[in-house]
Amino acid sequence: MPTIFTRIIDGEIPGRFVWRDERCVVFLSIDPLAPGHALVVPIAEVDHWLDLEPELVAHLSIVAQAVGQAQQEAFSPARVGLLVAGFDVPHVHLHVVPIRDMGELDFANVAHDVPAEQMEASAEVMRTALRAAGHPETTDS
């Protein structure tokens, strides 16, 4: 049975994508820790990041850094946090989160039911920053 992330990648479930290449996608979290909270997800279904091929780990890290730089430009946070937890969905995903302090990386503080307009606005400013940085992998939706 495909994971919820595979279903999002395949278009069965909607997602707010900001990046797509041959190895991974990036879409916004539906329960963000902060505006712009993005998930870097390999297309291949792998449960634990330790089981990824080293080349894919490197690629995901490069993409996460590009997304973090776009978040820095778009949201002007004090830092951009990067987390790999893996408990909620059995499909590797890197959380890239613009933050003002460490407390914002606590999953007890996720925002539920963020209005669609706010989510789309966050995605669009990230897409704009990614395009401005020269990333052709930037998606339109």
Domains of the chain, with CATH numbers? 4-132 (3.30.428.10)
Listed in sequence order, the residues at least 6 apart from 60 whose beta carbon sits closer than 8 Å to its beta carbon are 23, 24, 40, 42, 52, 92, 94
Average the pLDDT over 111-123 and give the result: 95
pLDDT score of 35: 96
Would you say residue 11 has pLDDT above 80? yes
91 is catalytic: no
At 37, the amino acid letter reads H
Radius of gyration of the chain from its Cα atoms, rounded to whole angstroms: 14
pLDDT score of 1: 87
Catalytic residue among 37, 59, 91, 93: 93
Listed in sequence order, the residues at least 6 apart from 12 whose beta carbon sits closer than 8 Å to its beta carbon are none
Which among 3, 8, 37, 1 has a CA at the least distance from the CA of 25? 8
pLDDT band at 140 (very low <50, low <70, confident <90, very high): confident
pTM summary value:
0.96
Average the pLDDT over 52-73 and give the result: 98
